Amino acid sequence: MHLIVGLGNPGSKYQGNRHNIGFMAVDAIVRRHGFSPWRKRFQGEASEGVLAGEKVLVLKPMTYMNESGRAAGEAMRFYDIDPAQLVVFYDELDLAPGKLRVKLGGGAAGHNGIRSLIAHCGPHFVRVRMGIGHPGDKALVQPHVLSDFAKADQAWLSPLLDAVADHLPLLVQGEEGSFQNKVHLALNPAPERQSSKAEH
């Protein structure tokens, strides 16, 4: 079984925040693959489905960002999920808007949600970092991540969320590199791919 976690802050006032791109990603996944309706479980909201022949639990921790690991850890213990089967979607300041990077393991790099996950689940999980760009000044970081995406951001945000949802089965199959490449190609189609993309 795989556990897919999106990081964000609960409540309508945070809904459109850059910091909540992880919630947006898992919402897109649940919609795209027809998973079960969200229900309250594991100090969060959970939805279930099957991808690439694997059972998948999707979780949005409702504990606030800096306690996200409590919810994920509870779900992992309940289902006896190996950390390598945990995939976490979250915002990344050090990537340009619309860029995505996947890696297994590592440190928290200053992200409070990831710090909490490492504390409760260990470091050996798959991280999907979704770029939101850096405001350029450390003093502006908190207002930047806690402000809503601008209207202009929808030009890359919607295609990114769609591509993540479309290609998620590759992540469940352990093909992190292929997933990253497919998402990149969806957002940056080669000229000869444009016509086939339009038909899609």
CATH label of the domain that carries residue 172? 3.40.50.1470
Least confident of 38-52, 138-152, 183-197: 183-197
Catalytic-role residue among 19, 111, 144, 167: 19
Chain segment 117-144, per-residue pLDDT in tens: 999 999 999 999 999 999 888 889 889 9
pLDDT of 195 higher than 80 = no
Pair of tokens at residue 193: 């791919």
Domain total of the chain: 1
> What is the C-alpha separation between 147 and 118, in angstroms, rounded?
26
Q: Specify whether 124 is catalytic.
A: no
Beta pairing class for 39-41 and 126-131: unpaired
Tell me the whole-structure pTM to 2 decimals. 0.91
Number of Cβ within a 10 Å radius of residue 195: 9
- Residue 155 lies in domain: 2-199
Which position has the token pair 């440190």?
Answer: 107
